[in-house]
Chain A
Amino acid sequence: MSWQDPERVEGIDLPAPTHWPIVTAFGVTLTFAGLVTSGLVTCVGFVTAIVAVVGWWRETLPEPREERIALRPPEQRAHAVVPVPGAVEHLTVGEAGHRVRIPVDIHRYSAGIRGGLVGAAAMAVVAVAYGLIAYASPWVPINLLAAMVIPSLAHADPAELSRFLPAAFGLAAVIHLGISILVGLIYAAILPMFPRRPVLVGGLVFPLLWSAVVWSSLGILNPALNERIDWVWFVASQFAFGLAAGFVISRTERVETLQTWPLAVRAGLEGTGLDRSGPDDPPREGPEA
């Protein structure tokens, strides 16, 4: 490489050593130290600092003083880096070449957002249906969601919960949509890592896992909801989300079947281990440069 073998130069100009910085710093410190010791110290410090600054300027104006440093003799210089061609392991899956971006097939993130929104709608339908059936009011599930944040709702009676409350509605909508979109995005990102039955995994397994997590902590997350929750309906609404979102997303693009890959590879974390050549095979040569 070109910059590794320098042409012969006489020397290199570097800023010359100077004692003015240390003297200036000393003067400045003394100036301050005088405040807590004696005015005399401040005076001395101030004068020192001024003298040093003048000295400093005289050294740097109009052009900073430099000195020419001789280059080291060639034998004491850095060794040129030795190229080692073919020393990098290869990926055998995906594109040819040493390194690729994996996973190869991914969903567009816009698909995730769309899936999240559709899932949100599906979930809302189930939840509102539950509200209508169990409480004869579509607002109950919405208010219950808002009760996660609003303490007064956490202790409200059913009549209160059945009413339309604009603040609660707004809050619930933000929480519901926000989290739905985020979960949709996650779906888009990780469904390709479970390529075998994306809809099954995304539509049933994840919602079940998620429901389990919620079940274990709802008492603290949202006590109001916890008191009134009907778990069958809750899990059903989770399924509605998962299935709708999973369906929308997996339809957007075909996912290459990667199930023989280890998970870390499917996630795009590692590239080794893909080389199917056995340990006894001779190491493969890299392409000639």
Chain B
Amino acid sequence: MTAQTTVAPGFSKSPKGRVGMLGMIASESTFFGCFLVVYLFYIGRSLNGPYPGEVLELPIAATVCLLSSSITIWLATRALSRDRTNVFGLWFLATIVLGALFLVATAQEWSGLIYEHGLTIRTNLFGTTFYSLVGAHAAHVTIGIVLMTLVLVLSLLGYVHVRDSERVEMLSWYWHFVDAVWIAVFTVVYVVGR
């Protein structure tokens, strides 16, 4: 009789969003997988320097920032699901700042590589694979930060509530994924690749 009979059981929001996000993450994973494999394949095959061992340094600080941002975003989503919008905003801000710090660190690293060591994407295979892999990751971080900033602004304007926690959680999944990719990149580029 009423409108409720018209709602298909499948139309409830949550599971399909999750499945969709998992699908996107799966495809992004194979995308990064290819760049990682190519990086591994080309290790030690550059015909000329600079070589990774000479110019790369462990980005410890950046890594700490990025990994800890996974914790802050988890705290943020938890706060939102408990309807504590202000706490949510704070943790979200923290996440954005940590992500931005990571980007700053990357930018510094790159400018050092380019201007001090003369390593560009054209220099050799190391440059080619390094900038594309790290760059692809940084691009994902940037997208994440833009999206999170949007959400933050909306929440400051009072548009974000518990009912959106599902969506914000999907965003956090994306962010966790970006973090996980960084662990792989870190291992391949800075540990194995040096």
Contacts and interface: CB of A to CB of B under 8 A. Distances in A.
A7 interface: yes
B163 interface: yes
A83 interface: no
A9 B159 contact: no
Interface size bracket, B side = 10 to 19
B160 to A, nearest CB: 9
A9 B3 contact: yes
B1 A8 contact: yes
Contact of B3 (A7, A8, A13, A62): A13
A12 interface: yes
B48 interface: no
A11 interface: yes
B1 A62 contact: no
Nearest to B11: A13
B30 interface: no
Contacts, number: 20
A9 B163 contact: no
B129 to A, nearest CB: 22
A31 to B, nearest CB: 14
A10 B6 CA distance: 9
Nearest to A13: B6
Contacts of A62: 159, 161, 163-164
Nearest to A6: B5
Contact of A11 (B1, B6, B159, B161): B6
Contacts of A8: 1
B164 A12 contact: no
Contacts of B159: 61-62
Nearest to A12: B6
Interface in B1-38: 1-3, 5-7
A62 B167 CA distance: 10
Contacts of A9: 1-3, 5-6
Contacts of B5: 7, 9
A7 B3 CA distance: 11
Interface of B: 1-3, 5-7, 159, 161, 163-164
Interface of A: 7-13, 61-62
